[in-house]
């Protein structure tokens, strides 16, 4: 076996024949439908899965089948053979590791972690809705990790489908440089195929059956002019990315198709161009050319030939080549509880080789772990393997300490890979077990679910004894409670959803914390001075140690910070966490005998409370970006209703026969909005929202929240 080969139970595949890709898009753009077609045409499944029937392979959870949405990202492995003699890659069978991600913003963590470990992505757009809000969000996530993409404009058979309008929206809303490769033949009910522009060849699907067979025809006579226009534009775009081809183009010579495709592959990997394809997944049309494009234009692990990380010992940057001979390095990007094999850890292997039974080193936690079994996953089905190689995505059984974002590596060649960052929860819910037996099971279930989902948090309210769970939205928490019941047999009562308010300060202040106790024998003594300053919104918390001359011994600095952090958890106004502050510890005193870590921890807590109360503390609330799609008749009612909810109207757009109203609305005002919108618009409008930012709560509303919390006296 060659050094850079991947072995599976049934085939050996060279590493340059591997594609690790994700399907990303707005909710309802057709990601799972497209994934199911990919599995069917590649021979991975023998029947096309249908979302409405609940027969999809990628949406395997009961909740996904019932609701017709994707909740967890599902990984699978399949193969596709390229037969085009002009292909920029060798004609051969290629292994595609595919991850289908959720479109709903409540499950954004699944998209974030998938993009962190993928080499390329397919963005699915709705030809009628064009570029929607969640598409912009996932596109920015892909930008963050420099993931090359291709675009599949889906639903060209839908009423109001507008392919050229979608291409225009790609430029305006995504800031991308789209290279149209396949132009649709017909639109709405007349859509029947695509013209491949470079080849000047029409692919026509005769009916809506499986779509496995299609006819190659001449370009329809009435399309020759539009095809020529888009083809010339495409050739110019490709030539602009390559000096040799540009010279030919300017001399009036057209490069051959293989040269153009080879240059396009380089441009896509360098993220200079984004190939655009057209189709209708539900009608089984246009998927195969997009599959060819996945292999021909998206990178293999070899194209991303090395990964950067941090040396655990020196803190300097080091790299690992994507080859099997290198020392092992991989990133754990997903934890899943499997009813049959227990805890599964999904790992992207960046370098080296991994074998079942082998010990691995968790560089993030400095602990050794042992792999008992290794699996290739096909959604929720498993295939056991003995070894895995650079470039693969596998599931490991037996890792007890590893969590999402941890680096696994060789103990003698330690490296820390860039971790994964997740957004903060915006909504909370109080839950309590229904019976005594549920009490014991609830803790276990919550711990397993928070292990799987980094955006799901659990907190105990010491005063009320309640358990508070927090997440990215009402749907997110609803699914969590449903999973507790179905998967863990835990029945719980839930309170009304609560908005995740936070506290911050608007001005600079100083505070003193002094803790002295004398009760015979050794006493307690801790004393410190801090300064608190506001930070920009979203900047988080920063601690600065400015102690000079040993005013406080260095071993007491961490306990002071711990005390400050503990006090920040409960704020000073209404018991909400304090965020976006810089705290500087600049002076203090200590006692040779009586000073202790505990005393300084309490002093730190007291100093924070003293400083925050004098720094113009205020409440801040999550503000959502809301997009309402409504027929024109109801636009005035929709805008009027949003204005009554303290909304900031950003403007309106026209999209087909609908008007899109964009606004920023405080989350606290959006409870029950779906029902209100339906009644306002006779059920004809829909809305989408995603977390945007935090803003100060107006004074009159803040006073009510503080009074309700029973902490009004703290604000004095």
> 641-690 pLDDT, tens per residue?
999 999 999 998 887 678 889 999 998 888 878 788 888 888 788 888 87
3-state secondary structure of 531: strand
For residue 447, pLDDT beyond 90: no
- Between the alpha carbon of residue 514 and those of residues 180, 632, 686, the distances in Å are 68, 64, 56
Residue 315 CB partners (closer than 8 Å, separation 6+): none
Copy the structure tokens of residue 595: 């000073």
Cβ atoms within 10 Å of 64's Cβ, excluding its own: 21
Q: Give the burial class of 474: count Cβ atoms within 10 A of its Cβ; 0-12 exposed, 13-18 middle, 19 or more buried.
A: middle
pLDDT bracket for residue 164 (50, 70, 90): very high
Segment 578-586 mean pLDDT: 94
Determine if residue 482 is labeled as part of a ligand binding site: no
Q: Which residue has the higher pLDDT, 511 or 386?
A: 511
Around 684, how many Cα atoms within 13 Å sit in the side-chain half-sphere?
A: 15
Segment 277-304 mean pLDDT: 90
3-state secondary structure of 351: strand
pLDDT bracket for residue 10 (50, 70, 90): very low
pLDDT at 61: 46
Give residue-wise pLDDT tens across range 388-446. 888 888 888 888 888 888 999 988 888 888 888 777 787 888 888 888 778 778 888 88
pLDDT bracket for residue 48 (50, 70, 90): low
CA distance 472 to 699: 26
Determine if residue 580 is labeled as part of a ligand binding site: no
For residue 58, pLDDT beyond 60: no
For residue 609, pLDDT beyond 90: yes
CA distance 198 to 178: 15
Determine if residue 155 is labeled as part of a ligand binding site: yes
Determine if residue 101 is labeled as part of a ligand binding site: yes
**Domains observed in the chain:** 5-297 (3.40.50.300), 306-417 (2.40.30.10), 427-496 (3.30.70.870), 503-615 (3.30.230.10), 620-702 (3.30.70.240)
CA distance 585 to 544: 6
CA distance 356 to 350: 17
3-state secondary structure of 584: strand
- Between the alpha carbon of residue 296 and those of residues 7, 24, 620, the distances in Å are 22, 19, 49
Share of the chain above pLDDT 70, in %: 89
The three state secondary structure string of 130-164 is: ECCHHHHHHHHHHHHCCCCEEEEEECCCCCCCCHH
Pairing of the two strands 415-417 and 492-494: unpaired
Determine if residue 31 is labeled as part of a ligand binding site: yes
Specify whether the CB–CB gap between 4 and 325 falls below 8 A: no
Closest CA to 130 of 79, 166, 98, 172: 166
Determine if residue 30 is labeled as part of a ligand binding site: yes
Closest CA to 586 of 515, 652, 510: 510
Give residue-wise pLDDT tens across range 68-98. 554 555 677 888 898 888 889 988 889 888 8
Pairing of the two strands 658-666 and 617-631: antiparallel
Determine if residue 707 is labeled as part of a ligand binding site: no
Q: What is the CA radius of gyration of the chain?
A: 28
Residue 582 CB partners (closer than 8 Å, separation 6+): 532, 533, 534, 535, 541, 542, 543, 544
Determine if residue 32 is labeled as part of a ligand binding site: yes
Determine if residue 156 is labeled as part of a ligand binding site: yes
Cβ atoms within 10 Å of 84's Cβ, excluding its own: 16
CA distance 40 to 46: 6
Average pLDDT, the chain: 84
For residue 13, pLDDT beyond 50: yes
Residue 599 CB partners (closer than 8 Å, separation 6+): 515, 517, 524, 525, 526
For residue 47, pLDDT beyond 60: no
pLDDT bracket for residue 52 (50, 70, 90): very low
Residue the block writes with tokens 């919108």: 677
Residue the block writes with tokens 């060789």: 410
Determine if residue 666 is labeled as part of a ligand binding site: no
Determine if residue 693 is labeled as part of a ligand binding site: no
Segment 195-218 mean pLDDT: 84
Determine if residue 527 is labeled as part of a ligand binding site: no
Share of the chain above pLDDT 90, in %: 30
Find how far residue 184's CA is from the centre of its chain: 31
The β-bridge partners of 394 are: 347
What is the enclosing helix (H) or strand (E) of 626? strand 617-631
3-state helix, strand, coil in the chain (%, to 5): 30, 35, 35
What is the enclosing helix (H) or strand (E) of 347? strand 342-351
Segment 202-207 mean pLDDT: 85
pLDDT at 391: 83
pLDDT bracket for residue 7 (50, 70, 90): very low
First to last CA, the chain: 74
Sheet of 215-217: strand order equals: 182-185, 193-196, 201-204, 215-217
DSSP for residue 383:
E
Q: Which residue has the higher pLDDT, 710 or 237?
A: 237
Pairing of the two strands 329-338 and 492-494: unpaired
pLDDT bracket for residue 379 (50, 70, 90): low
pLDDT at 72: 53
DSSP for residue 105:
G
For residue 710, pLDDT beyond 80: no
Residue 11 CB partners (closer than 8 Å, separation 6+): 79, 93, 95
pLDDT bracket for residue 556 (50, 70, 90): very high
Determine if residue 625 is labeled as part of a ligand binding site: no
- Among the ranges 514-523, 627-636, 671-680, which has the highest mean pLDDT value? 627-636
Determine if residue 25 is labeled as part of a ligand binding site: yes
pLDDT bracket for residue 8 (50, 70, 90): very low
Find how far residue 170's CA is from the centre of its chain: 20
pLDDT bracket for residue 618 (50, 70, 90): very high
- Between the alpha carbon of residue 47 and those of residues 212, 574, 575, 577, the distances in Å are 12, 56, 54, 51
pLDDT at 57: 45
pLDDT at 5: 41
Segment 455-463 mean pLDDT: 76
pLDDT at 338: 74
Determine if residue 100 is labeled as part of a ligand binding site: yes
Segment 155-170 mean pLDDT: 91
CA distance 389 to 387: 7
Cβ atoms within 10 Å of 236's Cβ, excluding its own: 11
pLDDT at 535: 93
Backbone angles phi, psi at 532, to 5 degrees: -115, 135
For residue 614, pLDDT beyond 90: yes
Determine if residue 485 is labeled as part of a ligand binding site: no
Segment 278-304 mean pLDDT: 90
Segment 379-383 mean pLDDT: 65
E runs forming strands in 472-598:
492-494, 498-499, 502-505, 509-517, 524-534, 541-545, 581-589
CA distance 524 to 515: 7
Determine if residue 532 is labeled as part of a ligand binding site: no
Specify whether the CB–CB gap between 687 and 659 falls below 8 A: no
């Amino acid at each position: 076996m060659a050094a850079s080969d991947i072995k599976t139970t049934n085939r050996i595949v060279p590493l340059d024949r591997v594609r690790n890709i994700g399907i990303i898009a707005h909710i309802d753009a057709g990601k799972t439908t497209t994934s199911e077609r990919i599995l069917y045409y590649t021979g991975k499944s023998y029947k096309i899965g249908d979302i409405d029937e609940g027969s999809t392979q990628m949406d395997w959870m009961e909740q996904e089948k019932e609701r017709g949405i994707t909740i967890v990202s599902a990984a699978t492995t399949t193969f596709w053979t390229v037969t085009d003699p002009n292909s920029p890659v060798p004609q051969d069978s290629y292994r595609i590791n595919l991850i289908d991600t959720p479109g709903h913003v409540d499950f954004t963590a699944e998209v974030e972690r998938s993009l962190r470990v993928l080499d390329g992505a397919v963005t699915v757009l709705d030809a009628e809705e064009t570029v929607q809000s969640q598409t912009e969000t996932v596109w920015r996530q892909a930008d963050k990790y420099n993931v090359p993409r291709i675009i599949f404009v889906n639903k060209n058979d839908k009423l109001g489908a507008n392919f050229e309008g979608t291409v225009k929206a790609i430029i305006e809303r995504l800031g991308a440089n789209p290279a149209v490769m396949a132009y649709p033949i017909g639109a709405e009910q007349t859509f029947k195929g695509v013209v491949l522009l470079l080849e000047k060849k029409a692919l026509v699907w005769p009916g809506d059956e499986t779509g496995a067979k299609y006819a190659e025809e001449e370009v329809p006579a009435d399309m020759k002019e539009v095809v020529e226009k888009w083809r010339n534009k495409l050739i110019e775009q490709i030539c602009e990315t390559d000096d040799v081809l540009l010279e030919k183009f300017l001399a009036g010579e057209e490069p051959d198709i293989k040269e153009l495709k080879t240059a396009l592959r380089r441009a896509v990997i360098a993220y200079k161009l984004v190939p655009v394809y057209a189709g209708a997944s539900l009608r089984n049309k246009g998927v195969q050319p997009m599959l060819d494009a996945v292999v021909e234009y998206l990178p293999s692990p070899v194209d991303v030939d090395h990964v950067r990380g941090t040396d655990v010992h020196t803190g300097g940057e080091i790299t690992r080549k994507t080859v099997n001979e290198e020392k092992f390095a991989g990133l754990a990007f997903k934890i899943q509880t499997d009813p049959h094999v227990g805890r599964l850890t999904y790992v992207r292997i960046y370098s080296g080789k991994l074998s079942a039974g082998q010990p691995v080193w968790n560089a993030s936690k400095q602990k050794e772990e042992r792999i008992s079994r290794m699996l290739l996953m096909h959604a929720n089905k498993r295939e056991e393997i003995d070894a895995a190689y650079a470039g693969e995505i596998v599931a490991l059984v037996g890792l007890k300490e590893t969590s999402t974002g941890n680096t696994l590596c060789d103990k003698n060649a330690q490296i820390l890979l860039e971790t994964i960052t997740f957004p903060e929860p915006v909504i909370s819910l109080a839950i309590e077990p229904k019976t005594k037996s549920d009490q014991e099971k609830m803790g276990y279930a919550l711990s397993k679910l928070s292990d799987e989902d980094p955006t799901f948090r659990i907190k105990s309210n010491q005063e009320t004894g309640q358990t508070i769970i927090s997440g990215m939205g009402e749907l997110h928490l609803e699914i969590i409670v449903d999973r507790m019941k179905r998967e863990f047999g835990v029945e719980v009562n839930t309170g009304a959803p609560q908005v995740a308010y936070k506290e911050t300060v608007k001005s600079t202040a100083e505070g003193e914390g002094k803790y002295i106790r004398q009760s015979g024998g050794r006493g307690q003594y801790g004393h410190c001075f801090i300064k608190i300053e506001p930070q920009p919104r979203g900047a988080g918390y920063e601690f600065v140690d400015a102690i000079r001359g040993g005013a406080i011994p260095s071993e007491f600095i961490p306990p002071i910070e711990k005390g400050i952090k503990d006090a920040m958890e409960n704020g000073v106004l209404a018991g909400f966490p304090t965020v976006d502050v810089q705290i500087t510890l600049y002076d203090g005193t200590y006692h040779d005998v009586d000073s202790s870590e505990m005393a300084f921890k309490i002093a730190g807590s007291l100093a924070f409370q003293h400083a925050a109360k004098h720094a113009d503390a205020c409440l801040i609330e999550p503000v959502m970006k809301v997009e309402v799609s409504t027929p024109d008749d109801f636009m005035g009612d929709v805008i009027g209703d949003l204005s009554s909810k303290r909304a900031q109207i950003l403007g309106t757009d026209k999209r087909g026969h609908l008007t899109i109203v964009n606004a920023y609305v405080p989350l606290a005002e959006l409870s029950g909005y779906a029902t209100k919108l339906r009644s306002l618009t006779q059920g004809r409008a829909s809305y989408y929202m995603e977390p945007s930012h935090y803003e100060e709560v107006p004074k009159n509303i803040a006073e009510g929240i503080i009074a309700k919390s029973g902490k009004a006296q703290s604000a004095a």
